[in-house]
Amino acid sequence: MEANNLALETTLAPKTKLSGKVIKTTLAGAIIDIGQPLPGVVHISQLSKDPVNKVEDVVKEGQIVDVWVRRAKKDRIELTMIEPLALEWKEIEPDMIVKGKIVRLEPYGAFVDIGAERPGMIHVSELAHGYVKTPSEVVKEGDEVEAKVLEVNRKKKQIKLSIKALEPEIEEFKPAKKENRKGSKAGSRKDNAEVVETKEPQEPELTAMQIAWQEALSRSGAGKDLKLRKTKAAVSREQEDLLNRTLEKRLPTGG
């Protein structure tokens, strides 16, 4: 018996769709023959999405109905006539991959029916790599898409999705920058200017005459006096010769 119950629970997993025959109705619900050793029971709250006041308003004995398994217990199999969600809130987790259909487009993103209570939303920035102006550039209503769950807020009942997260990022080819001659020259001038600014000021180079003059000045005082006297003597001789030549030209000669 335990083995049969184990097999039954394994076969009739939650959300399993079955077809059965209504064999009895009660104030609390209906009993359905689903071809299992245990009876199938549908509570009145599970007959329809809308509130039900009387079971017979929805089902009658002998009627064939579609049902889904809610849970399998030892004494009965609890069923529902409300098609269950493909994804319950507790089943939706970040990073899981989901599939769905685009049901609405807005300027800020696209809404996807993934079988949850609320559609998931793909922000325009998560539709594709690169800049996307409007969602219609990438998707349209009715498209079947695959997306990754980014965030789930069960209190606000929000599901944030991304298509971009499942696509490999395309590396943009960036050609090597060409050398800017003008920029290079400007840079060279700038570098040279910086080098010049960092160098210590240098004394101007001396000519050979200036070097000889400094060497002469650095000699002993006696040497300086001797040179001075020689210079004065030379100047005196030149002046004397000049005076004699002048006089000779002007004075008359005897004849």
The per-residue pLDDT for range 71-94, each reduced to its tens digit, is 998 899 999 999 999 899 999 999
Strand extents, DSSP E, 73-143: 77-80, 97-106, 109-113, 120-123
Which residues make beta-bridge pairs with 106? 109
**Environment class of 123 (CB within 10 Å of its CB; exposed 0-12, middle 13-18, buried 19+):** middle
> Can you list the domains of the chain with their CATH numbers?
2-80 (2.40.50.140), 89-166 (2.40.50.140)
Residue carrying the six token digits 């004075």: 251
Residue carrying the six token digits 């000779």: 248
Global pTM?
0.54
Quick one: tokens of 107?
Answer: 């300027």
DSSP 174: -
State how far the Cα of 131 lies from the Cα of 138, in Å rounded to an integer: 11
The per-residue pLDDT for range 23-76, each reduced to its tens digit, is 999 999 999 999 999 989 999 999 999 999 999 999 999 999 999 999 998 899
Which stretches of the chain score pLDDT less than 50? 1-3, 6-7, 9-10, 186, 193-200, 222, 254-255
